[in-house]
Amino acid sequence: MLRKFLFLAAGLLGCAFVAPASVNAADAAKLAAPAKKFTLPPSAPSKNQPYALNVVYFVPADMEPFPDYERRISEIMLSLQEFYGSEMERNGFPNRTFGLSKSKDGKRVNIITIKAKLSGAEYPYSGSAGKVLSEVNEFFSGKKAPKKLSDHTLIIMPSTSGNDLDPGGVPFYGLGRNCFALDYPEFDLKHIGKKDQLGRLFTKWYGGMGHELGHGLNLPHNSGKVSDDKKLGTALMGWGNYTLGTSPTFITRAHASILDQCQVFRTTEMPKTPAPNVDKPKEIAIRFLPEGVWICGILPEKNRVEHVLVYYDKDECNSVNGDYDAESFVAKFDKRTQMFKAAIPTNEIHRGKTGVFQIRLRLINDDGTCSIIRYNFDESYKQDVLEPADTKLADIEPPSSKKGKGPAKK
């Protein structure tokens, strides 16, 4: 009866999601710290990188590409490639970024330009992504079409708003392994970090492209931990779409782990068979201790999980865009024993508004797919989760504090 709230949900969800664009806060640029200088990478990614992102420029039948788009988009893609690479390195995954098909000198990205069947007005922001995708797929299945470089595709469309200083009108979001971004005449890397109107406009659409690309590369939303925000700025898959190129923006370690298994970051061929789903851990203990949450689990055998991630998501945990505020953690995962452990210190979590929160496991498979397992709670009544009820995992204490003493049990 007093069990006011312990709603425990464990379920497997697919990783495809639609993340509506939310790129209208040019004001965020006012918060700008010193601009980060981007340099183009000296060379293409490793020759051993077998997959590359498909970069498509999709031009409505009644339009032409905006002038100099191949140079402009190339430079922007190379700078995003460099940003992702430097963040992978900072997170301990050196020499890794997403692959791009490039010219021999490495300065131009090979962009696949597709002339669409319909007019610009027939590809509105809402509801036309499916139309665009089916035309793109039809193009790639044509006899003379270039070979698709991977399952991941960025589709850039020229703005149809008719106002060069207020672009828009076309899809701008992630959809599974595809993502949409837009082009406008002054979308040019030369404006990066500038405080004038074109600089602010650039931040909005460049950060937006970097963020939507993240969705197309398997990333959900997340927020930095409290200490990350102080040290590193804004998480790209949080509100980093408003800051990238203008003020410090970063990719969290959890998300670098997702990218580590993403097809276009691979240095070896994809596994021949799809990884199995994991419905739930074989055993799990989620314990609420004075210092935070301590999670130990064991995965069932027969899985192909490479990384175990934990998200601490507050308030609207199950809505499409309710995960911007979810701090993410990488569990310690021993593949030999299939045991994972993660500590979520209370002082690393931003405050929620409603008291409702969700702890979410995201199991990253070796083929880039994932399983998601959700546990829902309320601050007013938190109860440890022990599955099965007599699991020995409940006896494992978190790593000792500096004084050599683990947190006391409540």
Stretch that binds Zn ion, among 13-21, 68-76, 163-171, 308-316 (CB under 5 A): 13-21
Residue 180 or 312: the one with the smaller Cβ distance to Zn ion is: 180
**Number of other CB atoms surrounding residue 302 within 10 Å:** 7
**Helix, strand, coil percentages in the chain from 3-state DSSP, rounded to 5:** 25, 25, 55
d(CA 231, CA 217): 25
* 251 touching Zn ion, by CB under 5 A: no
Residue 19 or 217: the one with the smaller Cβ distance to Zn ion is: 19
Residue 175 or 385: the one with the smaller Cβ distance to Zn ion is: 175
> CB of 262: closest distance to Zn ion in angstroms?
16
> CB of 179: closest distance to Zn ion in angstroms?
9
* 19 touching Zn ion, by CB under 5 A: yes
> CB of 215: closest distance to Zn ion in angstroms?
6
Nearest alpha carbon to residue 159 among 139, 196, 187, 178 = 187
Angle between helices 69-90 and 253-260 (to 10 degrees): 110
Residue 15 or 19: the one with the smaller Cβ distance to Zn ion is: 19
Q: Are 259 and 237 in contact (CB under 8 A)?
A: no
> CB of 30: closest distance to Zn ion in angstroms?
22
> CB of 102: closest distance to Zn ion in angstroms?
27
- Dihedral pair phi/psi, residue 182, rounded to 5°: -130, 165
Residues that contact Zn ion, how many (by CB under 5 A) = 1
Stretch that binds Zn ion, among 15-23, 56-64, 75-83, 364-372 (CB under 5 A): 15-23
Stretch that binds Zn ion, among 18-26, 37-45, 263-271, 342-350 (CB under 5 A): 18-26
Q: What is the DSSP annotation of 122-157?
A: GS-TTT-HHHHHHHHHHHHHSTTSPPP-SS-EEEEE
Residue 217 or 343: the one with the smaller Cβ distance to Zn ion is: 217
d(CA 357, CA 314): 4
> CB of 149: closest distance to Zn ion in angstroms?
24
Residues in the chain, overall count:
410
Through-space distance between the first and last CA atoms of the chain, rounded to whole angstroms: 21
Residue 19 or 286: the one with the smaller Cβ distance to Zn ion is: 19
Position with the least CB separation from Zn ion: 19
List beta partners, residue 53: 100
List beta partners, residue 288: 293
Q: Contact positions toward Zn ion, by CB under 5 A?
A: 19
